Each structure stands twice: as structure tokens, then as C-alpha cells.
A and B are shown apart, each in its own frame.
Chain A
Amino acid sequence: MTYDILITGLIIIAQILAVVVPVLISVAFLVYAERKVLALIQLRRGPNIVGPFGILQSFADALKLITKENIIPSGSNKIVFILAPIITMVLSLAGWAVIPFAPGWVVSDINVGIMYLFAVSSLGVYGIIMAGWASNSQYPFLGALRSAAQMVSYEVSIGFVIITVLLCVGSLNLSKIVLAQQTVWFAIPLLPMFIIFFISALAETNRLPFDLPEDESTLVAGFFTEYSSASFVLFFLGEYASMILMSSMTVILFLGGWLPPFDVYPLNVVPGVIWFTLKVIFILFLFIWVRGTFPRYRYDQLMRLGWKVFLPFSLFWVVATSGFLVYFDMLPN
């Protein structure tokens, strides 16, 4: 009896580690990839000193940051100040519990998987608000306010995009969402929704061109201005882990998860996890490409895009999709 619990507990911990460790390692390489791609876009060389082709640069940076002194401002609210980066980091890793990497490769295959992801990504704003408030300083506070308004606004349209996909699937389970795309990936029939989701994902993860919470030209470094050393590393890791999480969410909702592009011989023997990884890498490349290409939005433009363009359009698509499905009797059971 007691051994059973121990073994169950150990299996759970092993599963968690099997997901979290690759995620953290891929965060390190994502940071390297981002610097390299941005360098290529701007005709520079990028990191090329540490290790072959500079591939160990992120590890060197992480080591450097962790060994620095952790400064906690005397005017800050210390407990909340320390909690904020931890919450950001934990939430960006918690979402991975429901991501199916391949058929059956999922820590927890729950019925409301997509709602869980949506809930976890909507909680991400707390780390930022708490950091901004606890720092007790003007720039972080402004960053936190911007971030709260921005993330709440774009969540609304993300919600409608998810509803559109769910109408075509008939289940909230992520594995079922992937399996529903065996005939055609949802990116093709729901292309406008795919684009809206991608842009909202940029806003949700505070990436350029919507990185107003950490807008360095007006807010120094936004909500993490006062952070240093290990707590800064946690914010940094959390931001990139949630970027990968949002990319995986995009892949599951629109690009057929672990499914190969065509169900023909040489393609369908490749393991699902490889297809999944390739698609996530493609979406991450888009994230970086957008960063290297577009100028930052002004705050009123950001709000206008969220509320006056995306919200009515995605609402219209929910109605149009459901009308189409009902009219042609294609509703899933």
C-alpha cells in the first residue's frame, strides 16, 4: 500500500522531469537561436565565441547572471518581490502538463486540456503585475499596468479563436483536437483565425511588436527593471518557456500537432514527436522573424487592434463557422 503511493509519486516526478528538463534546455537553445537569427537578419555574426558556433552562449550567460549579487530594493515589498519571478516561471512550466507530444506522450490527458492551457496562460499576468507593484518604483509599475490591460484584452480574442476550433472538434481534449485534423489541418479552413491566434500569442507573451510592458525606449526595462541575478533569470526563462508553450498551443490547434503533413509512406514513419518539434521550431522562427522585422506598436494602436479589429472579427468567425457547420450538418458529435 505505502509502496504503491511511493511508486506512483516517483512515476509522477519522473514524468514531470521528463517534460521540464527538455523544455528548459530548449529555452537555452531558443535564446541562442534568437540571437543568431536576429544577427543574420541584421547582417551580423551573433554569438560565436563560447563553444562551437557560440552554441554554449546561453549557458555562459545563465551562469554569469546566477553568480551575480541578487539585489532586493529596500523600498520593495520583499515577499511579493521574490514571489513574482517564481510564479512566472512555475506558470510557464505548468502548462506543459497537458501538451501531447505524440500519441500517448502526455503527462495528464485531461478532458478540459485546452481550457487548462487557457487558464494557465491567463494566470501569467500575475507574475508581471506582482513584480511591477512590489518593486515600488515608477517604471515597473507602468509596465505592470500596461501588461495587465494588454493581456486581458488579447485573451478575449484568443478565447474566441479557441471556441472556433472547438466547434470543429467537439472536444476540449488536446489529443482529440490533434486527431480531428487528420483530414486537413485547421490552419487551412480557419486561416484567418490562425493568423489572429498567432498575433494574439505575440501579445500574450509580451513579444515584439507588442512588448510594451518592457518597452526599453520608454520604460527602461518595464516590469523587471529592479530585478537582478537569479530572479532576473527566472523571468527570462519564464518568458521564453511560455513562448514555446504558446507555439505548441498554436501547433496543436492549427498545425495538426504530431501528425505528418501528408499521410504517405516516407512521411508517416517519422515519429510524431519529431513532426511536433519541427512545427514548434517553425512557429518559434516566426516569433523571432516578427521581432526582427516589425517596429513596436504604440499603446493606443495595440488596444485598437485588440478590441476594435480582432474581437469583432473573431466573434464574426465564431458565428460564421457555427452557421456553416449547422447548415451543412457537419457538427461533430
Chain B
Amino acid sequence: MVLYSLTFYLFSSVAVLSALMVISAKNPVHSVLFLILSFVNASGLFVLLGAEFLAMILVVVYVGAVAVLFLFVVMMLDINFVKLREGFLQYLPFGALLGIVLVIELGILFLTDRSSNIYNNQIPLQPIVSELENTKMIGQILYTEYFYLFQICGIILLVAMIGSITLTLRDKGGVKRQNIDSQNTVDASTAIEKKKVKIGEGI
């Protein structure tokens, strides 16, 4: 129990601190690295909730793939740090407004909704370890009750993928590509050409 609380406070405090560093770090690459740290800690919190499958998916998808490409792009950009800071005051009111709205929403949820399910159903401090693995539990809900929604998500992703490919695909001329089939089918009759060269003339 004590170990559980200790790990919870470790993960949550590092997650919050690194989220803070994401927006305050001067170097954008450092921001992305802190974002990754925040993701990893969030997945640690998922493990503590007993949602180990979600935790691993979070690491594989967000940290292992999305954030790598994100870091890739940020590293390649030639960012002028001074220019980046210039717009800070200009955007400050807008950002502050968004933050305040979010805080008010959370406040409303916690202060007025005491009769809702959150407080009636006793939430245990530690996850209940059920016999069924939560991979199977997710599967049993996802492919029965939410089957159509799941399929629609898949189609939306497919459309997004096709869209981004069509936007970026250009057939530039003059690019040399390897044609492996034609290389493999080469034999002496196609590769070698015999010519009679007259002396003193060349080809």
C-alpha cells in the first residue's frame, strides 16, 4: 500500500512537472523530450490503475512512433528562438482564457456534481485485479457494443492517410530508381552488346 502510494506520487509529480517544462523550456527539442517523459509517466499511472494494456499502447503508439516523428520534425526545423519568444505577450490573453475555461469546467465538475456516479460508486484506492486480462475485456466491448464506431474510426484514419499521401506525393522527374526485377532478369544477351570497332574511329 505504501509502495503503491509512493509510486503514484512519483509518477504524478514527474508527469505534472514535465508537462510544465514542455511549455516553459526554451529549446523546442527539450520541450519534446519533456513531453515524452510526461507520456511515459502517464503510462505509469495507467499501470497503477490496472489498465496495463492502455499503458503499453500509450508507450508504443505515442512515445514509440508519434513522438519519434515529432522529434524528427522539430530537430530538422531551423527555429529562431528570439522570434519564437516575440509573440508571447500577444498570445498570452488567449492562452490564459483557455486555461481559465478549463479550470472552471473542472471546478464545476468537482464542486457541484457530488451526487453523480463518481462519488456514489466507491472508487477503490488500489485497482481490483480481475481474473480476465484487460486486453480481453477491451476486446469483448470493442468488437461487440462499439463495433460500428470502431470501424468508423478505422475508416477516418484511412481517409486521413490517403489524404496526406495524395497531398505529398509528387512524381519528380529525373529520380533514379532501382528496378530489382529488371536487374534480376538480366542475362548475357541483354547485358552485353558486341560491336565491331574500326581502327582509328572508335564507336
Main secondary structure of the interface of A (DSSP, over half): helix
Task: Check if B64 sits within 8 Å of A112, measured CB to CB.
Answer: no
Query: Please, which residues of chain A bring their CB within 8 A of the CB of B69?
Result: 148, 152
- State whether the Cβ of B63 lies closer than 8 Å to any Cβ in chain A: yes
Task: Check if B71 sits within 8 Å of A301, measured CB to CB.
Answer: no
Query: Please, which residues of chain B bring their CB within 8 A of the CB of A125?
Result: 64, 68
- Given A172-B135, A300-B178, A112:B56 Cβ within 8 A: yes
Partner of B72, one of A110, A118, A130, A148: A148
Task: Check if B75 sits within 8 Å of A133, measured CB to CB.
Answer: yes
Tell me which residues from 134 to 149 in chain A have a Cβ below 8 Å from any Cβ of chain B. 141, 144-145, 148-149
Q: Which residue of B lies closest to A145 (CB)?
A: B72
Query: Please, which residues of chain B bring their CB within 8 A of the CB of A317?
Result: none
| Chain B positions 67 through 78: 1 when the CB is less than 8 Å from some CB of chain A, otherwise 0 | 011011001100
Query: Please, which residues of chain A bring their CB within 8 A of the CB of B65?
Result: 122, 152, 155
Task: Check if A148 sits within 8 Å of B68, measured CB to CB.
Answer: yes
Tell me which residues from 105 to 140 in chain B have a Cβ below 8 Å from any Cβ of chain A. 133-135
Query: Please, which residues of chain B bring their CB within 8 A of the CB of A236?
Result: none
CA A112 to CA B75, docked complex, whole Å: 33
- Given A5-B3, A122-B65, A123-B63, A115:B56 Cβ within 8 A: yes
**Distance of B53 from chain A, by nearest CB (Å):** 6
Query: Please, which residues of chain B bring their CB within 8 A of the CB of A38?
Result: none
- Further 19 A-B residue pairs, CB within 8 A, beyond A129-B71, A152-B69: A5-B3, A8-B3, A80-B29, A80-B33, A111-B134, A116-B56, A118-B56, A119-B56, A122-B59, A122-B64, A126-B36, A126-B68, A129-B72, A141-B75, A148-B71, A151-B68, A152-B65, A152-B68, A171-B133
Can you name 30 A-B residue pairings with CB atoms under 8 Å?
A8-B3, A80-B33, A111-B53, A111-B134, A111-B135, A112-B52, A112-B53, A112-B56, A115-B56, A118-B60, A119-B60, A122-B60, A122-B64, A123-B59, A123-B64, A125-B64, A126-B36, A129-B72, A133-B29, A145-B72, A148-B69, A149-B72, A152-B68, A152-B69, A155-B64, A155-B65, A159-B60, A172-B133, A172-B135, A301-B178
